[in-house]
């Protein structure tokens, strides 16, 4: 007698939400290519031909990338097409153009092995970077290495054109070209082993509105072609072989969210104002000019945090003043009539080693507590002055504000402000236009700054609370460490108290204060942040409509009353109970 087949096991995976939305479909597993290759000896008479073979592979890779760039240009415009420039710059990097050839000729090894060695070395260096943005670039280097390797080996890569039905793409990683090809194919969404929110793949997925979860570690090991999958880009969850009723629930949720999205789109031109008239500024956090269009389309009133580290990527030398000026001027003009806050350089000393400062320590014992942010800027004032002069010049073309990161006390702020004043004087003497009333502020993200915020508030024009680092440093919790990540608690009484006293000190000094950390982009927190009387919230572009709706659905007076109750007993359990009761009124 025949027996019923055992249904496949349902499994849940948690990763990083890279692009919101829900995708449901069968898995299409893209094959991965291991960069580890064999080493063999190349006879002296064949070395020249081996170098030529490598250079031909690089040329073919460049041609392929330019083709992808043209496709992105047609589909998404110039700004996104520039993402491919990062890949093209890697092709021109000495690690590809010189180190590989040097290894082939000096050690008489095959091109595949020399390439693998060069890429592995670069990846190890980037993995040690303090900044997430720079760490993410290791995936770009790997992608470029794999593309060259495919050409060296003469392999035809598996292509998304093989898709013949709506599917969920599963891969170790996806390149920008893979992602952009999805739009024209049957790709419903994707899930990858590696990657983060700032990867080029994630940026493109957001722009193309493809649901995506990245950083799932080993999902490719568990998924077989044709397996049923759900990718929840809202929560960063992937479900493998879900039961039929779970699929039905997710389909209903997708319909509900689609309806909500259409509803939120109607709020785009409405102010971020509570039911009883409290108006706050709702702005966005971005990393590149490519995100401005999407940010403004979502109804943001400016850029509350522009991370200027983008300019330092994929280059061999520091950007000069003209590089900075062109970049910032364009951003300022693109955002008008709204303001943009340019955060000055927030990279670690390890990155400067790559840009020609070998005297710095490339491997600090604890880089998150080391030479970064304003500390690095003050250690190298020439680099800082170059950026400040460019920001000041750009202020003549828009509503520009400047903000210092990682300030720990009054002396650092005064030293940085003094450099701004000196740069202003230089520009005046040269009759170069700039905004004489440009606002100069700082991030409150180090507990010591929050504890002396009353002094800082008297001298700064504004402040913006960076909750990611403030929580991490205050609670001594590394949020990417699985062992202690559960202790990363935004509603911890210490965090609420630091935010509260920062706002009070700023307002007492007649200054405005915003928040640009992830806490600001959590709609569950909006009621608390409004009650704490923040003047501005700056969130990721995709969260702007949702936060605006949360603001417009409540009364400011009710939020104030809630915070008054919270401050009487700011224990975590009490705060959560009060918020739950507030929502269920």
CA 26 to chain centre: 29
Pick the closest to residue 194 from 211, 216, 177, 222 (CA basis). Answer: 216
- Calpha distance 514→462 (Å, rounded): 8
Helix (H), strand (E) at residue 443: strand 439-444
Helix (H), strand (E) at residue 24: strand 22-29
Residue 483 and residue 433 in contact, taking contact as beta carbons nearer than 8 Å: no
Integer CA distances (angstroms), 195 to 143, 227, 286, 386, 579, in order: 12, 22, 18, 32, 34
The gap between the terminal CA atoms of the chain, to the nearest Å, is 58
- Calpha distance 282→536 (Å, rounded): 6
- Calpha distance 55→581 (Å, rounded): 66
At residue 170, the 3 state secondary structure works out as strand
Q: Please confirm, yes or no, whether 516 is among the known catalytic residues.
A: yes
At residue 488, the 3 state secondary structure works out as coil
Catalytic one of 80, 139, 200, 338: 200
| Sheet hosting strand 187-192, strand order edge to edge | 11-14, 237-240, 228-232, 22-29, 167-171, 187-192, 212-214, 16-19
Pick the closest to residue 487 from 499, 496, 475, 497 (CA basis). Answer: 475
Catalytic one of 151, 397, 492, 516: 516
Beta-bridged to residue 129, according to DSSP, are: none
Q: Which residues contact 202 (CB under 8 A, 6 or more apart)?
A: 18, 19, 195, 196, 212, 214
Do you know the residue count of the chain? 585
Residue 451, Cβ neighbours under 10 Å: how many? 14
Burial class (CB in 10 A: 0-12, 13-18, 19+), 574: middle
Cis peptide before 337 (omega within 30 of 0): yes
Burial class (CB in 10 A: 0-12, 13-18, 19+), 74: exposed
Characterize the bridge pairing of strands 237-240 and 228-232. antiparallel
Characterize the bridge pairing of strands 212-214 and 399-404. unpaired
- The CB-side HSE value for 346 (13 A sphere, CA atoms) comes to 24
Helix (H), strand (E) at residue 352: helix 349-354
Task: Name the DSSP class of 70.
Answer: H
Q: Which residues contact 61 (CB under 8 A, 6 or more apart)?
A: 91, 144, 147, 148, 151
Q: Please confirm, yes or no, whether 234 is among the known catalytic residues.
A: no
Q: What amino acid positions are annotated as catalytic residues?
A: 200, 516
């Amino acid at each position: 007698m025949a027996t019923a087949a055992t249904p496949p096991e349902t499994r849940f995976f948690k990763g990083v939400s890279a692009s919101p939305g829900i995708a449901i479909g069968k898995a299409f597993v893209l094959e991965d290519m291991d960069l580890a290759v064999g080493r063999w000896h190349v006879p002296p008479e064949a070395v020249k031909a081996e170098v030529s073979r490598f250079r031909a592979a690089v040329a073919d890779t460049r041609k392929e990338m330019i083709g992808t760039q043209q496709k992105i240009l047609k589909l998404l415009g110039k700004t996104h097409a520039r993402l491919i420039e990062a890949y093209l710059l890697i092709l021109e990097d000495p690690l590809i153009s010189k180190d590989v050839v040097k290894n082939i000729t000096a050690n008489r090894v095959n091109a595949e092995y020399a390439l693998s060695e060069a890429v592995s070395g670069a990846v190890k260096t980037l993995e040690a970077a303090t900044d997430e943005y720079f760490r993410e670039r290791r995936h770009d280097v790997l992608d470029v290495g794999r593309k060259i390797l495919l050409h060296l080996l003469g392999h035809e890569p598996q292509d998304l054109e093989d898709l013949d039905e709506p599917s969920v793409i599963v891969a170790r990683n996806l390149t920008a070209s893979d992602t952009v090809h999805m739009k024209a194919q049957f790709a419903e969404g994707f899930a990858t082993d590696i990657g983060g929110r700032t990867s080029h793949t994630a940026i493109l997925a957001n722009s193309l509105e493809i649901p995506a979860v990245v950083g799932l570690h080993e999902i490719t090991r568990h998924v077989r072609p044709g397996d049923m999958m759900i990718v929840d880009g809202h929560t960063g969850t992937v479900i493998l072989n879900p039961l039929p009723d779970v699929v039905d629930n997710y389909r209903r949720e997708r319909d509900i969210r689609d309806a909500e999205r259409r509803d939120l789109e109607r709020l785009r031109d409405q102010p971020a104002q509570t039911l009883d008239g409290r108006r706050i500024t709702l702005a966005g956090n971005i990393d590149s000019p490519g995100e401005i269009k999407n940010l403004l389309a979502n109804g943001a009133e400016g850029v509350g945090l522009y991370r200027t580290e983008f300019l330092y990527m994929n280059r061999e030398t520091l950007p000069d003043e003209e590089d900075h000026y062109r970049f910032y001027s364009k951003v300022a003009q693109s955002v008008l009539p709204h303001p943009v806050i340019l955060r000055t350089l927030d990279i670690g000393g390890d990155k400067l080693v790559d840009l020609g400062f070998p005297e710095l320590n490339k491997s600090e014992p604890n880089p998150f507590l080391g030479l970064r942010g304003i500390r690095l800027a003050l250690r190298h004032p020439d680099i800082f002055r170059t950026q400040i002069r460019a920001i000041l010049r750009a202020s003549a073309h828009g509503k520009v504000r400047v903000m210092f990161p990682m300030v720990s006390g009054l002396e650092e702020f005064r030293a940085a402000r003094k450099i701004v004043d000196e740069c202003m004087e230089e520009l005046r003497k040269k009759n170069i236009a700039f905004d004489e009333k440009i606002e100069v502020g700082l991030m409150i993200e180090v507990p010591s700054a929050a504890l002396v915020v009353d002094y800082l508030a008297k001298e700064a024009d504004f402040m913006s609370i960076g909750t990611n680092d403030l929580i991490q440093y205050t609670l001594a919790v590394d949020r990417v460490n699985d062992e202690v990540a559960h202790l990363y608690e935004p509603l911890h009484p210490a965090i609420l108290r630091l935010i509260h006293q920062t706002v009070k000190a700023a307002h007492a000094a007649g200054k405005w204060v915003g928040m640009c950390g992830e806490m600001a982009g959590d709609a569950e927190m909006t009621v608390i942040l409004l009650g704490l009387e923040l003047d501005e919230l700056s969130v990721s572009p995709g969260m702007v409509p949702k936060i605006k709706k949360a603001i417009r659905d409540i009364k400011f007076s009710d939020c104030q009353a809630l915070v008054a109750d919270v401050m009487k007993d700011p224990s975590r359990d009490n705060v959560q109970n009060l918020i739950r009761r507030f929502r269920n009124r």
